Amino acid sequence: MTQSPAVILTCQFTLPNKKSFSTYIDYMTREKALEEKERRTPDEEQELQRIKNA
């Protein structure tokens, strides 16, 4: 039998009720990072406005 390249993929799932999930969400919607970004996409601008209006 000849050998061929192989790839092993692993991943970790997080349930929505876990702290790591809420930490990730906080990271993704961080206001300060969006404000400090020099060039924001229209989606990022909209997200920043939603955060500020919350």
Beta carbons of 49 and 34 less than 8 angstroms apart = no
- Tens of pLDDT, residue by residue over 1-54, are 678 888 988 888 888 888 888 887 777 768 888 998 899 999 999 989 988 887
Give me the residue label for tokens 């601008």.
45
Contacts of 31 (CB under 8 A, 6+ apart): 48, 51, 52
Taking the whole predicted model, whether its pTM rises above 0.75 is answered as no
Backbone angles phi, psi at 19, to 5 degrees: -60, -40
**pLDDT for residue 51:** 85
**pLDDT for residue 1:** 63
Beta carbons of 14 and 24 less than 8 angstroms apart = yes
